[in-house]
Amino acid sequence: MIVEMELFPTLELGWLNGWILIGVLYGTFGMLLLLFPKAVVARLYAYDRSRWSKKQRAYHVIGKLLILVNLVLTILTPLRVGSTVFILGVILFAIGLTGFTIALLNFRNTPLNQPIIKGLYSISRHPQALMLLVAGVGISLAIGSWIALFLLVIASLFGRSRILVEERALLGQYGDSYREYMKRVPRYFLVKTRMKENKEEQNELKI
């Protein structure tokens, strides 16, 4: 399967390029936002950047730029239809898209004055981000591009800064109830990192 991947696949305009999966992902997201109440959509983007440090702002910008480069590469790279990596990629994409949709519905169905802790949020504090990553990995495999996969992973690491700031804001908003939630539920689905997170939580949230 590894031999079906390339570091720099040939870039070309075509109907069977990675833009198809990108379109399905963003199209689904856009449709859901149109169906959601305006207050829910506003809450989805309601995170205060005024207290971000220069380092956090820089990380955020770098992450966005890497995602943009990844997006361009994906649009211009043909899907490896019929290959093993394509099949595996489509499966991962479907899992990520389904999980992302469920997480958004969990978000939408939670009262605005309460933290989102049910559904997928009961096993991951950030299921939206994680499911988008899974879908992105699936797309990178479907086009057979190592560089696209690399850019996606690095961008996700830079994006972690926003996640930490978001958790700090939620702690300030909901207090001890959210702190207890953080103790029960790992940041991601990886249970093995749970104890480490609990020990380092206070230090990380100061970044």
The vertex-159 CA angle with 179 and 171, nearest 5°, equals 15
Report residue 118 CA to chain centroid gap. 18
Q: What is the reported pLDDT for 48?
A: 65
- Checking if the pLDDT of 54 tops 50, the result is yes
Residue 192 has pLDDT above 70, yes or no: no
The two counts, helices (H) then strands (E), for the chain are 8, 0
State what percent of residues in the chain have pLDDT above 90: 55
The pLDDT tens digits for 142-165 are: 999 999 999 999 999 888 878 888
Say what percent of the chain tops pLDDT 70: 88
Is residue 42 within 8 Å of 112, Cβ to Cβ?
Answer: no
Residue 11 has pLDDT above 80, yes or no: yes
DSSP letter string, 85-123: HHHHHHHHHHHHHHHHHHHHHHHHTS-TTS---SGGGGT
Taking the C-alpha atoms of residue 20 and residue 131, their distance in angstroms, rounded to an integer, is 18
Helix (H, G, I), strand (E, B) or coil at 37: coil
- Angle value at C-alpha 108, between 107 and 110, nearest 5 degrees: 70
- At residue 193, the pLDDT reads 42
User: What pLDDT shows up at residue 190?
Assistant: 61
Parse the chain into domains and list their residue ranges. 12-44+52-157
**Which helix (H) or strand (E) is 168 found in, with range?**
helix 146-174
